Amino acid sequence: MFTCQILPRQTGCEIIDSYLVKKKRKVTDIQQRLILNTFDKAPSPLFLKLILDQACAWNSYSQEHELVLQDSVRGAINMLFDNLEAKFGSIVTSHTLGYFTIALNGISENELEDVLSCDDEALNDLYRYHDPPVEGIVRCPPVIVARIQYDIKEYIVERMSHGKYTKNWYHRQFVETAKARYCTGLEGEKLHRNMCEIYMGENGVKRSITLTRRKLTVPDADRQVTPQPVEVENKRMLRCLPYHIVHAGQQLPMTLSKDKCFCNLKFLSSFLQLCDVETLLDFFREFLERNNDAEVTKLHSFLSSCKSDLSKPLEMAISLMANIVPEEDNVYLKVSAQSSGKVPAVTEETFTDSCLPMHGP
């Protein structure tokens, strides 16, 4: 495991001088001593950067009681979050930083704008003083996302995740602090639920919203969300949707979880063309650890028993028809079974090659 080395005080002094020159800032002698004394409490590169960024907001005429620095990395990160909330509002800031934290392998700019556009609580906060500019469309103003990202740009990194560029915290301390502050319990489940909504929108998202502060209701408001077709080329959706469903808990109706993912033959077959069956089974196990559902349990047993040969959609469909017998109340398994009938003509050789033997003589 990587461990951060302690910085010698002299090295810290040199970094302080060069950093202030780079930022075209100067500090008074009193401010310099405060920075150094604070640095001594946790002499690490990350902590030094955090307190220097805070010090860059000082003025030469700032009173001594106005010069506040935290004495730990966690405290300094929380102060950064406090300042962001004061600048942009607590709701939109907490939700934006929450999505950065809970998204699988980071979040793309489009995804961030999309999920905030499906986040009614954030939209109510954003549209406090004016109505949405286009009738029938309610979307998060992109300038808000851009401004928040600009203020945290030095603490995030860009990487490739399943064919898309995503942004994520560059240090685990940010992940841990933001998770504890914004993503626990019910609030965390709500964030995951909203992420689910953007990935479930095959044709975008249209949903009514009431902007309470404007006393305005927009029926079937178009959120202008990027369509997410269920196909193997849409790699990121396939990987992210089950992850967020699992972590959305009781905030996401079981009917949606089954209809869009765990009992959806099209989704399952597309997923298995992208990933191995063990990865899919892991999601099933995690889901069933949190939820007791007969249909998902039955499908999990089926996938486990014939996992050696499920890479082809046709074989999966045939095996599903052959081995899953839905009960009267297994609504979603019936739909999957009916969907599995929509396959090309089946030859005797195809039946012979299926992963489980067919029933009957």
**Mean pLDDT in runs of 10 for the chain (361 residues)?**
69 92 92 94 94 92 87 96 96 98 96 98 95 96 95 95 94 97 97 98 96 95 97 96 97 94 90 89 95 90 75 60 55 51 39 37 39
User: What confidence tens digit (pLDDT) does each residue in 69-115 have?
Assistant: 999 999 999 999 999 999 999 999 999 999 999 999 999 999 999 99
Angle between helices 9-22 and 29-39 (to 10 degrees): 130
- Give yes or no for a contact between 267 and 303, defined as CB atoms under 8 angstroms apart: no
Q: How far apart are CA 112 and CA 12, in angstroms?
A: 36
User: What confidence tens digit (pLDDT) does each residue in 13-57 have?
Assistant: 999 999 999 999 999 999 999 999 999 999 999 999 999 999 998
Instruction: For residue 157, give every residue at least 6 positions away whose Cβ sits within 8 Å of its Cβ, in sequence order, or none.
Output: 167, 168, 169, 170
What sections of 4-108 are H helices per DSSP? 9-22, 29-39, 45-55, 73-88, 90-102
Quote the pLDDT of residue 355.
38
What's the CA dihedral at 7, 8, 13, 14 to 10 degrees? -80
Query: What's the pTM value of the predicted model, to 2 decimals?
Result: 0.86
- Give yes or no for a contact between 343 and 321, defined as CB atoms under 8 angstroms apart: no
301-305 long-range contacts (CB < 8 A, ≥24 apart) are: 303/268, 303/277, 305/356
Helix (H) or strand (E) holding 206: strand 206-211
- Give yes or no for a contact between 118 and 197, defined as CB atoms under 8 angstroms apart: yes
